[in-house]
Amino acid sequence: MTEVPVEPIRRVAMISLHTSPLDQPGTGDAGGMNVYVMELARRLAGQGIEVDIFTRATSSALDPIVDRGDGVAVRHIHAGPFEGLTKTELPGQLCVFAREVLRAEAAQPVGHYDVVHSHYWLSGQVGALARDRWGVPLVHSMHTMAKVKNDALAAGDTPEPSARIIGEEQVVGAADMLIANTDLEAKQLINLYDAEPARVEVVHPGVDLDVFRPHDRARARADLGLPVDAAVLLFAGRIQPLKAPDVLLRAVAELLDQRPGLRSRLVVPVVGGPSGSGLEHPESLAQLATALGLDGVVRFVPPVAQDELARWCSAATLVAVPSYNESFGLVAAEAQATGTPVVAAAVGGLTTVVRDGHSGLLVDGHDPRAWADALRRVVEDDALRLRLEGGALAQARRFSWRHTAEGTLAVYERARAEMAQSLA
C-alpha cells in the first residue's frame, strides 16, 4: 500500500471540560491533570505547535480567551451555570459545551485543527463529536477510570456511577488512539474496556525539573516556619477519601504510640484543600487529627503554587502518598525530583513512579500499622534515608515534560497518518 504524505502538525485542540489548567492544583477538581494539560501544551508549543485548550467557564469574570503568549491559548466556554455544578452534573452540559467548541472552530478556515486531544471521559465525549465533524483524529487520555476506582474504593467513598462507565466505554471505542500514563494503565484499558491493543500507547507524564529541584533543606524549613531538626512527613494533594490523607494521620498516631519521644519533633503538613466527596465534610480530617491527639503535630496548609510546593517537598523528610488509586502519581514524581523520598501505596501508577527500596518505599494496603513501620524506617534509619534521597533524584530524571511532549507528538502523527491512509 502506498504511504500517503501527511503535512506537519500545526494546531492541536485540547479539551479539558471539567477543570481548567489555569486553576490552582490541590483543591476542587484541580490536580495532577491540570498540571499535565498545561505542561504538555507548553512543551508542544515550544516545538512550534499552536495549542487551544477548551474548558468550561466557572466565572463570568473570566476572559473568553486567555492567551498565554507562548503558543497556548485557554478558551473559556460558557456551558451551564458558572458555579455550583458538580462533576456528576456536568454530563447535562455536554451538548452546549460541544456546540460552542464547534462554533469556535467554525469561525476559522477549514482544516484549522489537525488533532483533537481530550482529557477525562467528559472531554472525550465532546472530542468524539469534534473528530467526526472536523475529520481529524481523536487522541484521548483517561487520567482516571471508573472501573479502576470502583475496584479500590476508600471507606465511605461514593462509587462512580454507571453513566460514567458507559461514557468511558464509548470514548474508548471512538478514540483513534489512547494514551496511557503507565504500562499498568494500558493493560487496564485493554482488559477492562476492551481497547484494541494497537490503539494504546504508553507515554509517561513528566516533571518540571527546573521547578522541582533540590533546595537547601535548612533554608526551606526556615522559610516555611519548620524546625530545622524536625521529622517532616508531608502530604500534598486534594483532601478526599481517594487520596487517603486519613491513612497517614492514623499511621502517625500509631507511630507515636510506638515512639512517643518522637512527638516533640514530628510535623505533618497537609498541603491541599477539600475535593470530590471530601467537600461533603471538609472539616472531617481536622476532626480526625483532634480525635487522634495530633493537633500539635498536624498543620493544615492551603494549596500552594508549584514553586512553593517544591519548597515544601525539599523541606520534608519524606512525602507520603497513601492514595487508593493513582493513574500516575505526579506528586510522588515531583517530590523525588527535589531529592525527597516517597512512601507510597503500592497501587496504580505509583508502582511505576516510585522504585521500591531505591527512591522510596511502597506499602501494600492501607493498614496504619504497616504505614507506621514504613514511616519509622525512613525517619530513624539515616543510612536508608540518604540512600533513598540519592535514588529519588535518579528516578525523577526518568520523567520530563520534554519526553512527554515528544512521545505525545509521535502518537498524534501516527493517528493522522493512519486516518489519512484509511481515507486514501
The verdict on whether residue 32 carries a ligand-binding annotation is yes
Indicate whether 192 and 248 sit together in one domain. no
pLDDT at 46 over 90: yes
pLDDT for res 283: 84
Q: What are the pLDDT digits (tens) for 31-41? A: 789 999 999 99
Specify the pLDDT at position 168.
Answer: 97
78 annotated ligand binder? no
Say if residues 371 and 251 touch (Cβ distance below 8 Å): yes
| Annotated binding residue 164 | yes
Query: pLDDT at residue 71 above 50?
Result: yes
pLDDT digits (tens, 9 = 90+) for 191-210: 999 999 999 999 999 999 99
Query: Is residue 321 included in any domain, yes or no?
Result: yes
287 is known to lie in a ligand binding site: no
What is the Cα–Cα distance from 200 to 38, expressed in whole angstroms? 22
Q: Which domain range does residue 239 map to? A: 217-397
Same domain for 167 and 230, yes or no, is: no
> Within 13 Å, how many C-alpha atoms sit on residue 17's CB side?
31
255 and 389 fall within a common domain: yes
Q: Are 180 and 414 in contact (CB under 8 A)?
A: no
**Residue 119 covered by a domain:** yes
Is 145 annotated in a binding site? The answer is no
- At residue 197's C-alpha, the angle toward residues 397 and 124, to 5°, is 80
Q: How many H helices and E strands in the chain?
A: 15, 14
6 located within any domain: no
Give the SS3 label for residue 410: helix
Number of domains in the chain: 2
| 145 & 247 share domain | no
Q: What is the pLDDT of residue 152?
A: 83
Per the domain annotation, does 211 fall within a domain?
no
Rounded average pLDDT over 138-148: 96
Give pLDDT, residue 82: 82
The answer to whether the beta carbons of residues 37 and 53 sit under 8 Å apart is yes
Q: Distance between CA 85 and CA 236 in Å, rounded? A: 25
The verdict on whether residue 149 carries a ligand-binding annotation is no
417 found inside a domain: yes
For a pLDDT cut of 90, what percent of the chain falls above it? 81
Q: Are residues 106 and 174 in the same domain?
A: yes
pLDDT-based confidence at residue 170 (cuts at 50, 70, 90): very high
Q: Are residues 181 and 224 in the same domain?
A: no
Mean pLDDT of the chain: 93
Query: Is 25 labeled as ligand-binding?
Result: yes
DSSP secondary structure letter of residue 239: B
User: Is 2 annotated among the ligand-binding residues?
Assistant: no
User: pLDDT value at position 1?
Assistant: 47
199/327 same-domain check: no
Grid-cell match 492544583, residue found: 25
Section 345-350 average pLDDT: 96
**Is 150 one of the annotated binding-site residues?**
no
Q: What pTM did the predictor assign?
A: 0.91
pLDDT for residue 240 is more than 70: yes
Give pLDDT, residue 2.
Answer: 52
- Mean pLDDT over residues 250-268, rounded? 97
Q: What is the pLDDT of residue 174?
A: 97
Residue 117: inside a domain: yes
- The CATH number of residue 290's host domain is 3.40.50.2000
Q: List % helix, strand, coil for the chain (3-state, nearest 5).
A: 45, 15, 35
Query: Distance of CA 167 to CAs 115, 123, 160, 239, 247, Å?
Result: 21, 10, 12, 26, 32
Let me know whether 201 and 284 are in one domain. Answer: no
In whole angstroms, give the CA distance from residue 234 to residue 319. Answer: 5
Same domain, 230 and 165: no
Do 197 and 284 fall into the same domain? Answer: no
Q: Is pLDDT at 219 greater than 60 in this prediction?
A: yes
Residue 187 lies in a domain: yes
Instruction: Give the rounded distance of the alpha carbon of 269 from its chain centre.
Output: 20
Task: Flag whether pLDDT at 383 surpasses 60.
Answer: yes
* 4 part of a folded domain: no
Is the pLDDT reported for residue 21 higher than 80? Answer: yes
Q: Retrieve residue 128's grid coordinates.
A: 468524539
Distance (Å, rounded) from C-alpha 232 to C-alpha 320?
10
Residue 27 annotated in ligand binding:
no
Q: Are 240 and 384 contained in the same domain?
A: yes
Is 376 annotated as belonging to a binding site? no
- Least Cα distance to 32 among 143, 184, 115, 127 occurs for 143
Reported as a single tens digit per residue, the pLDDT across 394-421 is 999 999 999 999 999 999 999 999 999 8
Reported as a single tens digit per residue, the pLDDT across 273-312 is 875 544 444 588 999 999 999 999 999 999 999 999 999 9
User: Is 352 among the annotated ligand-binding positions?
Assistant: no
How many Cβ atoms sit within 10 Å of the Cβ of residue 216? Answer: 11
Q: Are 300 and 415 found together in one domain? A: no
